[in-house]
A = this chain, B = another copy of it.
Amino acid sequence: MKSVFKFTQNVRQTPVRQALCDYFKSYDEPADYIQIMEFLDSSGRRVNKTTVYRQLDFLVESEIIQELDFGEGKKRYELAKSHHHHLLCTSCDKIECIAFAEDLHSQEAEILKTTHFKVTGHMLEFFGICKKCQNKENKLCLR
């Protein structure tokens, strides 16, 4: 089975790289290093952490995955997709994606007008309680 990902020349198709691509393709939640390692372990591979971090850097450079930081003191990665934001449930830690039709256009226009700061990007993440957890008294969601 061929890879669905296109690599430029001088980039090799290796088992680790392929495994990571498959992982991100099948998982819809931003994963941290631990989760990625657990997946590799469970799939029978014993991959060195240096290799994992280097492959993650490579995949970010290749724009196959995106790096995320929710202020947890570590990075998370998810399959690259069009601009969107996240809803982080503080009760069960589930992470959902959300995108807005208008995004932050009005805010960015206001910034340019009032400060002359030219916005090139932004990071917007929401914290709160997901639908499931709202329906539980003890705020422990089974997911």
Q: List the B side residues contacting A73 at CB < 8 Å.
A: 69, 73, 75
Q: Give the complex CA separation of A50 and B97 in angstroms.
A: 37
In the complex, the chain B residue whose C-beta lies closest to that of A127 is B121
Q: List the B side residues contacting A129 at CB < 8 Å.
A: 117-118, 120
Protomer copies: 2
Interface size on A, as a range, is 35 or more
Asked if residues B123 and A128 are in contact (CB atoms below 8 Å), the reply is no
Q: Give the complex CA separation of A98 and B98 in angstroms.
A: 24
Q: List the B side residues contacting A71 at CB < 8 Å.
A: 69, 71, 75, 123
Asked if residues B124 and A119 are in contact (CB atoms below 8 Å), the reply is no
**Contact pick for A122, options B75, B100, B118, B124, CB 8 Å:** B124
